[in-house]
Structure formats: structure tokens, C-alpha cells
Amino acid sequence: MTVPAEVRTFRWMPLDHQRHAIPGDTLARDTPVTTLCGHVTVMPDHEPTKGEWLWWTCAACYEKAKGYQHVALTSPR
């Protein structure tokens, strides 16, 4: 077992009608983003709605995210 040099982080984000995992350092709205499953899209230009958070979880992102550390949207520093 090897320890990664840096902790890879991710967060969930509703994108294109699926809940994808995106790299944890991606925060800006309306900017290009590549999800963990390799889907290239654009960050929403608004706060995700409650309905959007209910979209299906992307299975490929779910698998990939197991190797990542989850960070909350409002993590304290």
C-alpha cells in the first residue's frame, strides 16, 4: 500500500442531469470542468437546487471517488 503524495479531493455536483464527482479544488461557477468519470462540461452558473441534488449519482464517478477524499461545499478552514 502506498501513501499518495497529496490527498486528492472531490465534491459532488449536479451536472447535465447526473450527480457527478468533480475535483475538490473546482469551485468557480460557469467555468469548464472535467468530472472524475471524464465528462467534460461547465460548472453551473447558479447554486444547485434541491431538485438537482436528487439527480442520479453517476456510477463511474462513484467508483472513481472511492480513491478520493470528499470535501463538503462549506468546509471550515
| Grid cell at residue 4 | 499518495
Task: List alpha helices for the chain, DSSP H.
Answer: 50-53, 59-65
Q: Is 35 in the site for Zn ion (CB under 5 A)?
A: yes
Q: Are 37 and 61 within 8 A, CB to CB?
A: yes
Cβ proximity to Zn ion: between 2 and 59 the closer is 59
Q: Is 37 in the site for Zn ion (CB under 5 A)?
A: yes
Size of the site for Zn ion (CB under 5 A): 5
Please identify, among the stretches 2-10, 27-35, 48-56, 67-75, the one whose residues bind Zn ion according to the rule CB under 5 A.
27-35
